[in-house]
Amino acid sequence: MNRKILCLGLSLLLLFSSVAYTSGQIESYWWPMFRGDLAHTGYCSSQMPVSNQSLWKFNTGGQVGSPTYSDGVVYVGSYDRRVYAFDAVTGDMIWVYATDNIVISRPAIVDGVLYVGSEDCNLYALDAATGEKLWNYTTGYYVDSDPVIADGVVFFGSEDHKVYALQAASGEYIWSYETEGAIMLSAVTLSQGIAYVGSLDKCIYALNMTNGELVWKYATEQTVATVPAVMGATVYVGSSDGHLYALDALEGSLKWKFATGADIYSSPAVYGGMVYVGSMDHHIYALDALSGEEIWKYEALSGVASAPVVLDDVVYVGADDSRVYALTAQRGELVWSFLTGEQVISRPEVAQGRVYVGSSDGKLYAINCIDGLLSWSFATGGKIDSSPTVAEGLVYVGSHDGRVYALNASTGMSGYDWEMHNNPVWSYDTGDMVMFSSPAVSGGMVYVGSYNGKVYAIDAYSGVYQWSYQTGFAVVCSATVYEDVVYVGSEDYSFYALNAKDGALLWKYETEDQIMVSSPALYEGLIYFGSNDGYLYALNKEGNLVWKTQVGGYVVSSPAIAEGVVYVGSYDHNLYALNAANGNVIWSYPTNNTVSSSPALAYDKIYVGSEDGYLYVLNIDGTLAWTYQTGDSVTSSPAIADGVVVFGSNDGHIYALSAQTGEFVWSYRTGGEVVSSPSIADNRVYVGSYDHILYAFENPEDTEKNEPINTDWITIILIATIILLSGVAILILWKQRRNASS
C-alpha cells in the first residue's frame, strides 16, 4: 500500500496568545501543536459549542480541469459535477452550477453565455453572470469535448460518435456528423470554414462548418484524443501512436510527422514558427512548424498529457509529476516549476499575470507568471477535469459534485457555502510528501517532517527556508519543540534532538523499530514517546535512557502525562498508566479492540477511544467512570474544553458529550468516517471527515445561525493542520497489521 498519502498542504500554526504551562497543559484559546500542549493532554481552556450548528465547511478531493480566462474571471469544471466561476485575482467563487455527472469539458464564454458539456450527456448554456440555465441539449452519451462558438453556432463532439452544430442562442439543432468512434477529449477546431476534430476511430476529420459534410479524413495508427491546432495551411494533431502529424488543412495530405517515445495526449500549441507538444515519454517538445525538425526538448519527471500554452515567449504546461512548468519558448530553459498535490493534465490558462490551472488534487491554482508563486487556490467538492473559463471578473468551472461554480477570479474566495481566505501566507516545497507530520511553531519558526527523511525549519512569517536535517528514512512523526530543541522520531528507528536554531544534531537515540506517529510528550525534564517495537521510552534531555517499558503491542498512540503518570494506548487493546519517573505499570485497562486513539486528560479523568466502538472514560485509579457506544471504531483522539468532550467515530458522526457524566450534548453526521482528532481554538471546534470536508462548530449565540465564520488568516492556518491528521489511525493500524502478519 502506497503510504505517500497526499496531504492538503504545509500548514502554519502561529501562536500569538500568551501561554502558561501547568502540568503540561496550555491555558489558552489556541491549539498550537499536536494534541494541544507539550504533555498531549488534549485539553483546552476554550469554551465548547453547545449545539451541532455547522458554521462552515471546506470541500477537498477531486481532479481539476483546464481553466479558461475571460475579462477577469476564471472558469473551470470538476469531477465533483460542478462548474465554478472565480474572480481571477482573488479567487472568490461567484456562483456554482450543478449538473448530473462529472464535468470534464472546458467552458466557453461568448456574449455573456457560458457553454459547457457534462457526462450527463448534455451541453449546457448558462448565464455567465448568474449561473442560471438558459438551455440544454441532450446527446446520446458523454459530452467531454470542449465547445467552440463561431458565427452564432456552437460546435462540439460527443462520445455518441457525433459532431454537433447547434444554434448558440437557443440550442436548436443544425447538423451532426457521425464518425466511427467516440469523440472524447478532442475539441472542434475551426478555420477557414472547416471544422477539424479527432476521434477514437484513429482518424482526424475535416467537416464543412455550414452543413457538416465531410471534406476529408486522415487515418493515424491509434486513437486521436487531442485537439487539432491550425496555423495557416497546416493542421497539427497528436495521436496515441506517439506521432505528431502535420497535415494539409485543405486536402488532408501528410506534410510531415514526428515520432516521440510514447503516446501523445497533449494538444499541440503553435507559436512563433514552432509547434509545442507533450508526450507520455516525459518530454515537452519544440519542433519547427514547417519541417518538423526538433528544436529542443525538456524532460519532466513523468508523462506530459497537459496541453502547452505559450505567451510572451514562455511555455506553460502541466505534467503527471504534479508540477506546472514554465519554460523559455526559444530554448526550453526552466523559468520555474510549481508543485501541486497530484498530476496536472489540465491545460493552463494565462491571463492578468497569472497561470490558472487545475490539478487532480481537486484544486484550481492561480500562479504568478513571473516567479511561480501561488496567488490563490480553490478546492471543489469533487474531481475537476474541466478547463476553467474566465469572463467578466468570474471564473467558471464544472465538478464531479454535479455543480457548476462561479468564483471571484481575483481572490479565490467563494461566496457559495463558506467564507474564508484560502490564500496561503506562503508555501514551501520539501520535494516529497508531508505526511501526518503536523507543523510545530516556536520562536517564529515552523518545524515539520517530510517523507524524504528530512526535518525542516522554515521562517513562520516569510516561508523562507532556514535549515533541514536529513534522517535515515521518512519523518511522519509530529515534532515537539521546547527550550530551543526540536524532538522528533523517524522511521529509521531513531529519535532525534536537534538545535532549533541551526538544525545541528544534539543527540539521537536508536529504538528497535520505526517511530511513526507517536509524537513525543515532555514532562518534568523527560521526553516520552512510543515505538513500533512495543516499548514506551523515557529519555532525559541529554538523550540517555531513563527507562523503557514494554507493553503488549505496538505503541501507535501518543502519550499524555499528568500528575506524574503517563497514559498511552497499545495495539494489545489496553490503555496503560505508568509511573512517569520509573516506567512501572500502575494499572492497565482492557478494551475490546486496538487503542490507537491518543488519550486526553481533564477533570481527573482519562478519555480514550477504542476500535471496539466505545469512548472510555476512566478515573485516575483505572476504574471505569463511564463509556459511550458509537456505531463504529473510535480512532479519533478526544479533545476537551468547557466541560465537554468531543471526538469522532468511524460511523461518520462527531460527538459532544458531558465530560463528567457522558450525557449526550449533541452529534453531527458527516458524509464519511471521522478519524480526525478535533482541535479547539477560540471557542470553536474543528474536525475533518473522510467526506473531504473540514467542519467548524461554534456556540450559536456567538455567530448568527447559518452564517459562516468570517475567519482571519491565523485561524485558517490553525485549522488546516487537522487535515494532516485525518486518516492517520486507520492507515497506521493497517500497516501494523500487515507487518504483524508478515
* pLDDT category of residue 691 using cuts at 50, 70 and 90: low
347/388 Cα distance (integer angstroms): 9
Going 178 to 347 to 230 to 174, the CA torsion angle's sign is: positive
Are residues 273 and 288 in contact, defined by beta-carbon separation less than 8 angstroms? yes
pLDDT band at 166 (very low <50, low <70, confident <90, very high): very high
By CB atoms closer than 10 A (0-12, 13-18, 19+), residue 593 is: middle
- Average of pLDDT values for 78-94? 75
Q: Where are the beta strands (DSSP E) in 264-319?
A: 269-271, 274-278, 283-288, 294-299, 309-311, 314-318
| pLDDT-above-90 percentage for the chain | 47
Task: Give the residue carrying C-alpha cell 528530512.
Answer: 454
pLDDT of residue 26: 37
Confirm if 433 and 419 have CB atoms less than 8 A apart: no
Whether the predicted pLDDT of 422 surpasses 50: no
Span 312-364, pLDDT tens digits: 899 999 999 989 999 999 999 999 998 887 888 888 888 778 888 888 777 77
Contact at 8 Å (CB) between 668 and 678? no
Contact 232, 267 (CB under 8 A): no
Residues 464-474 as b or e (16 or more Cβ within 10 Å = b): eebbbbebeeb
pLDDT, residue 739, reads 53
What pLDDT, on the 0 to 100 scale, is given for residue 384? 47
What is the number of other CB atoms lying within 10 angstroms of the CB of residue 178? 12
Average pLDDT, stretch 497-526? 92
Confidence band for 25, pLDDT divided at 50, 70 and 90: very low
Residue 541 and residue 498 in contact, taking contact as beta carbons nearer than 8 Å: no
**Residue 689 has what pLDDT?**
65
| Overall average pLDDT of the 536-555 stretch | 93
Rounded CA gap, 11 and 719, in Å?
A: 9
DSSP-assigned letter for residue 677:
P
Please tell me the predicted confidence (pLDDT) of residue 284.
97
- Give 95's pLDDT tier (boundaries 50, 70, 90): confident
Its pTM surpasses 0.75: no
Contacts 24+ apart (CB under 8 A), 270-276: 270/229, 270/231, 270/236, 271/310, 271/329, 272/310, 272/313, 272/329, 272/330, 274/329, 275/229, 275/236, 275/244, 275/246, 276/308, 276/310, 276/315, 276/317, 276/329
- Mean pLDDT computed over 514-534: 90
Of the candidates 595, 524, 610, the one whose C-alpha atom is nearest the C-alpha of residue 566 is 524
DSSP 123-165: EEEEETTT--EEEEEE-SS---SPPEEETTEEEEE-TTSEEEE
- ∠520-526-527 over CA atoms, to 5°? 15
Give mean pLDDT, residues 544-564.
91
Q: Are 569 and 551 in contact (CB under 8 A)?
A: no
Q: Which segments within 380-464 are labelled E, that is strand?
A: 389-391, 394-400, 403-408, 413-414, 440-442, 445-449, 454-459
Query: What are the chain's domains?
Result: 21-56+427-741 (2.130.10.10)
CA distance 690 to 687: 11
